[in-house]
Each structure stands twice: as structure tokens, then as C-alpha cells.
Amino acid sequence: MAVGKWVFVVVLLMLVPSCQTTGGSVSVNMPGERLEKDRGGPPDHAPAHGYRKKFRYRYYPDAYVYFDLDRGVYFYLDSNNWIKKSSLPYELKIRLGNGVEIEMDSESPYIDFEGHKGKYPPGQMKNKEKDKQKKDKKKD
């Protein structure tokens, strides 16, 4: 009689659907069915292999201000602290001048501020604009 009980348990286990955990929830998979998410590769929340998100900024050297072109926020210096806001104080708005577009892997553009300050010194953008205007006049 004991063998009959074991056969019943084995048959019952074969008929019970298999379960699979997917990111905190449980999906029930009937025998022979394939889960839609069962497609291989890293999970949806994992970053793609070899890909780094690029952040685009406009840097204004005359005011030491960064503008995130995708998120629409400004980064500016205030008493040696970097501030992130959706708008600028008036005194910085009037000093912006011309800017240059920068692409970085970081969501904090000021991590390379010293490099940007050296590469794009204040007033340099005005000189480049004057040089461009001179070249355009010569072409005419």
C-alpha cells in the first residue's frame, strides 16, 4: 500500500504547474508553456553590456554654469558648493554669454570643472565669436 501512495504523490507533482520567480513576483508556467519574459540576456533592470549613458550639457564659461540639455536643469557654483536647480539666479542669467556643448558619462558635470575651466577660459567664447565674424566679413 505504501508504494501506491508514492506513485500518487509522483503523479500529482508531475501535474502541478511549475513556478518561476521574476523580479519579486511569481509567474506560473504550465507544463509545456514558455514564459514571455524567458528570452535570455540580462534582466530589464540591468544596464546593457558595454553601454554608458551620455549626458549632454551646455557649459557657460563666463558664469561657470552648466545646463543639462536633456533634463533641463542648471548646475552652478554658490559659495564653493554646486547647486542644481531648474532656473538660475538673475545675476547668473545676465552673465551667461555664449556656451559650448559638452558630452559626458556623468550626471554631475562639475566633476571635471577644473578641466573645463582650463579648456574654455572665461571670455574665450567672445573672442571666438569675434574671429568668426571677421572671417565671415572677409568672405563677403
Cell of 129: 565669436
Q: What is the pLDDT of residues 86-137, one digit of tens each?
A: 999 999 999 998 999 999 988 999 999 999 999 999 887 655 555 554 555 5
How far apart CA 32 and CA 30 sit, in angstroms, is 6
CB-count burial class (<10 Å; 0-12, 13-18, 19+) for 109: buried
Q: Which pLDDT belongs to residue 55?
A: 92
Q: What is the pLDDT of residues 41-95, one digit of tens each?
A: 556 666 666 566 789 999 999 999 999 999 999 999 999 999 999 999 999 999 9
Q: Which pLDDT belongs to residue 5?
A: 72
Cell of 60: 557657460
Q: Which pLDDT belongs to residue 15?
A: 63
Q: How confident is the model at residue 38 (pLDDT cuts 50, 70, 90)?
A: very low
